[in-house]
Amino acid sequence: MEIASVRLIKPALVTGFGTVVGMWTVWYILHLPGVHAPQLLSSLLLGGVLVFGCALGAMGVSGKRSSITVGLLAGLISAMVNLLLLGSKVVSQPTSTESIAEHANQLRPDAPLIVLGFLGLSAAIGAIAGFLGSTRARERTSEPIWIGRFAIVLTFALLPLVIAGGIVTSTESGMSVPDSVTTYGSISVLFPLSLMAEPHVFFEHTHRLFGTLVGLTALVMAIWAVGRDRAWATGAVGLAMISVLTGTLAAELAEKLPISAAIGIIIGISLLVLVVTVLAILRGRIAAASMGILVLVVGQGLLGALRVSEISTPLAMVHGVLAQLVFACAAALAASIRFEQTMPETDLPEQTGKAITQAHKFALWAVWALVLQLILGAGYRHTSSHAFLGAHVLLALAVATLVILVGLALGQADRESKTGRWAKRRGKGLTHLVITQVALGIIAVIFVTMGNANRPIPSSDELAEAPPLPKTEAIFTTAHQATGAALLALTGATFIRTRPRRKTG
């Protein structure tokens, strides 16, 4: 019984964290400025996501008892992670940021009861959802690769973080919180919900919250992968890198290290780890790649903190570019695990083999072009330089051509084999996505060039006089940026999935 319970922790982790990503995304949408859904509606929708997520996860295991156990554990795990959001409601709720000093990090008297009730209710809902899922579960002939599914969860956790970061840039909200590590003196997860009504503060603070969620998810992925492969040396090296990164920021904050040196160390380590992570993904080394992504997430967060404290545009560019590269790495890692362990077909039809080989070659060039396009786009978003914009627009033609060539090549695969059907679906997906990206880019350029591209970014003490949010422009520029991130991630994953399979025996 004990061994069976341990075995069920894997699907529970995947289900719990996957459900959290869905719940946080829905919570974010419901609390967007201009939406502000009523609390009852918000609670019902979030409860519905919890039930759906736990039931869906429970369908992935065999046996009613196992399904209920997975649902219960997943509900409890999701509740424990969701305490990061609940913290905003169980603290004293000041009326303004000026009065927060008197209330910072002060829990309500009934906070322990709220937390215990929340944990118990979530576990009970998860168990009920697990029972519902068991009625639709099917007997499985093989055990799912749970770590691969968790890599997919990590990828989807990064997507709303990238989108939230894009919204911060599009709405000039990057400097709305004066402190880089805390939020107006509060521990980020304890920043009162009542103070998130100001749109700029909401966008910047929730971006930080999503960063916390991604950091926790990446940590679980790294521990899981290192323990699974018993790659203790890899884990030790990763922890050493994280120690150096955090120690560098601490030394800079204590004024024991020049800011230029701190920035150089953090960027240097992040770039080195990025290269190592990409190589680990290409070689199928899951533990090294997972640990690398964790280090990159930490480095990314520290760069974001320094960007605020130094009010640095170059750091904002690096922060934005690295975020999308980490997202692409997570997608590629998930594709790598799936490629190695869940695609058994080796004797493909000649037609499909040629299609995949050709797509692989085009995908490599497409990835490089997309990375360059990402850098140019970030350059324009943060500097409003027409040189960046012109180069970005010109390169868009090459990017679109290369991605469409990947799509057309995959479209030549057969319809009978499993791999052939996957190739056709992926080819259509890439083609449609790049067409959407180009259309959004044209609209975004029109809005940006017609508007005031050089709007100043208001600081925290200028929010009362800040101009209205450029809502329509922000929607299209953020959609363009998010679609570009998805295109890079999907193209990178396609490059991994179409690489030649290593021969065995």
String of DSSP letters for 80-107: HHHHHHHTTTSB---SSGGGGGGTTTPB
Nearest in space to 200 (alpha carbons), one of 433, 485, 459: 459
What pLDDT does residue 380 have? Answer: 86
Cα 322 vs. chain centroid, distance in angstroms? Answer: 12
Q: List the pLDDT tens digit at each of the 505 positions of the chain.
A: 344 556 889 999 999 999 999 999 999 999 998 888 888 999 999 999 999 999 999 888 878 888 899 999 999 999 999 999 998 888 888 777 777 767 777 888 898 999 999 999 999 999 999 999 888 766 665 566 899 999 999 999 999 999 999 998 888 887 888 777 788 888 888 888 887 878 888 899 899 999 999 999 999 999 999 999 999 999 999 999 999 999 999 998 888 889 889 999 999 999 999 999 999 999 989 999 999 999 999 999 999 888 877 777 888 889 999 999 999 999 999 999 987 665 545 567 888 889 999 999 999 999 999 999 999 998 888 887 889 889 999 999 999 999 999 999 999 998 888 888 999 999 999 999 999 999 999 998 888 777 665 667 777 777 777 777 778 888 999 999 999 999 999 999 999 989 876 544 3
Radius of gyration, alpha carbons of the chain: 23
Q: Distance (Å, rounded) from C-alpha 377 to C-alpha 481? A: 8
Task: Using the structure block, give the residue that is written with the tokens 């083999």.
Answer: 353
Cα 268 vs. chain centroid, distance in angstroms? Answer: 22
Q: 286-310 and 232-253 are packed helices; what angle lies between their axes, rounded to 10 degrees? A: 10
Straight-line distance from the first to the last Cα atom of the chain, in angstroms, rounded to the nearest whole number:
37
DSSP state of 311: T
Nearest in space to 349 (alpha carbons), one of 410, 409, 419, 407: 419
Contact predicate 458/298, CB 8 Å:
no
Report H helices in 94-198: 111-134, 146-170
Q: Distance (Å, rounded) from C-alpha 308 to C-alpha 136? A: 49
Contact predicate 24/212, CB 8 Å:
no
Task: Using the structure block, give the residue that is written with the tokens 């925290």.
Answer: 460
Task: Using the structure block, give the residue that is written with the tokens 């201009």.
Answer: 34
Task: Using the structure block, give the residue that is written with the tokens 């500097």.
Answer: 383
String of DSSP letters for 17-51: HHHHHHHHHHHHHHTSTTT---HHHHHHHHHHHHH
Report H helices in 136-231: 146-170, 199-229
Contact predicate 267/244, CB 8 Å:
no
Exposure string over 283-294, b if 16+ CB within 10 A, otherwise e: ebbbbbbbbbbb
What pLDDT does residue 126 have? Answer: 95
What pLDDT does residue 157 have? Answer: 97
3-state secondary structure of 186: strand
Contact predicate 178/460, CB 8 Å:
yes
Nearest in space to 144 (alpha carbons), one of 61, 55, 227, 54: 61
What pLDDT does residue 1 have? Answer: 36
Contact predicate 91/114, CB 8 Å:
no
Which domains, and CATH codes, for the chain? 1-140 (no CATH), 145-342 (no CATH), 350-455+468-505 (1.20.120)
Task: Using the structure block, give the residue that is written with the tokens 């040196």.
Answer: 261
* Phi and psi torsions of 180, nearest 5°: -90, -30
